[in-house]
Amino acid sequence: MRKTVKAARTDPASADEDRAELHSIPFEQLRRLQKDGFVAHTPRTRTHAAEAATSDGPPTGKKIGSKKRKKPLEVSSKTPVAPPPTSEAPLRKKRPVARDPRFSDLSGPLNMDRFRASYSFLDDIREREKDVLQQTIKQQSWGGKKRRKAAPKLSDREVQEAQNVLKSMRQQDSLRQRRGELIDMKRELKQQEKKNIVETGKKPFFYSEGKVKQLLMKKKYEELKKQGKVDAFVKKKRKRQAAKDRKLLPNQRPREASLDDA
C-alpha cells in the first residue's frame, strides 16, 4: 500500500491534475490557505489545499507549524531585562530633556518690556563688576603707589585683560542703551498713532526702522541743544571718525620713508 501511495505521489498525470486545480483557485484564497498553514509544496498537499478551497465548510487539515507555536519563546541571555516594579526597586525615571526658552514656542513670544523689567537686577550686578574692575586697574596703575602696596600685585598681562574686559562691558552697555532708546521710541510712536486713529479715524501709519532712527536722532539733537552740548558732541564724533579713517590708510613702507629723508 505504501508503494501505491508513493507511485501516486510521483505520478506525472496526478501532478498535472493538482497543478490544474491550483490554477483554478483564486490567488487571494490560496494566500489565505497558505497563511492558515495549508502550504502546497507537494502534490498531496496541493490536492488537500484544493479540496479545502472547493469545500463549503472550514478546512479540517492539519496546520503546518502548529507545534512550533506551542513552544516557549526563546530569548537570549544577553538581552537586558528590566526588574519588576516593586517598592524596593522603583521604576526608573526618564531623563529630563533640556529646553532653551529662546528657541521654544512653549515660552510664547518675546516681550522686551517684560524681559527688561524681570531681569533689571542684572544691571546692578553688572555695575558692581565694573566698579571692581575699575578699582583693580586703578590700584595696579603706576600713579597709585600707596594703593598698590595694599593690593595684590598683578602681571601686565592680567592688567591688560582687565582693561579689555572693562572696555567690552562699557561698549555692550552703550549698545544696550541705544537699543533701549530705539524700543522706547517705537513704543511712543505706536501709542501716538493709536491715539490719532481713535480721535481722527485716519489710516494707520507704520514707521520703518530708518524713520524711527531719524526721529530718535532729531530728539537727541534737541536735548543736546537745550543743554548746550551740541559743539562738544559734534567734535567728539569728528574725532572718532578721523581715527577710523586713519586706520584705513595704508602704512608707509620703511624703504620709501628712507628715500624721502635722503
Counted domains in the chain = 3
Share of the chain above pLDDT 90, in %: 15
Residue 107 lies in a domain: no
Out of 20, 35, 57, a domain closes at 57
Residue pLDDT, tens place only, 163-221:
999 999 999 999 999 888 898 899 899 999 999 899 888 888 888 989 999 999 898 88
Is residue 147 within 8 Å of 138, Cβ to Cβ?
yes
Residue 257 domain flag: no
Per-residue pLDDT reduced to its tens digit, 77-122: 888 877 666 655 556 677 888 888 778 888 788 887 888 888 889 9
Question: CB-based burial of residue 40 (10 Å sphere; 0-12 exposed, 13-18 middle, 19+ buried)?
Answer: buried
Do 166 and 234 fall within a single domain?
no
Residue type, 128: R
**pLDDT of 89:** 53
Rounded Cα gap, residues 116 and 123, in angstroms: 10
CA torsion 56-58-61-65 (nearest 10°) is 140
Domain boundary residue, one of 12, 31, 57: 57
Q: Domain residues for 25?
A: 2-57
| Percentage of the chain lying above the pLDDT 70 cut | 68
Residues 39 and 118 in one domain: no
Is 72 part of any domain?
Answer: no
| Neighbouring C-beta atoms of residue 255, cutoff 10 Å | 8
| 136 within a domain of the structure (yes/no) | yes
50 with 20, same domain: the answer is: yes
Count other Cβ atoms within 10 Å, centred on residue 134.
Answer: 14
Q: Indicate if 40 and 123 belong to the same structural domain.
A: no
**Model-level pTM?**
0.49
Distance CA 48, CA 62 (A): 10
Q: Are residues 118 and 166 in the same domain?
A: yes
Confidence of residue 137 (pLDDT cuts 50, 70, 90): confident
Give the whole-angstrom CA distance, residue 250 versus residue 191. Answer: 50
Same domain for 167 and 246, yes or no, is no
Where helices occur in 141-207 by DSSP H, the ranges are 145-150, 156-200
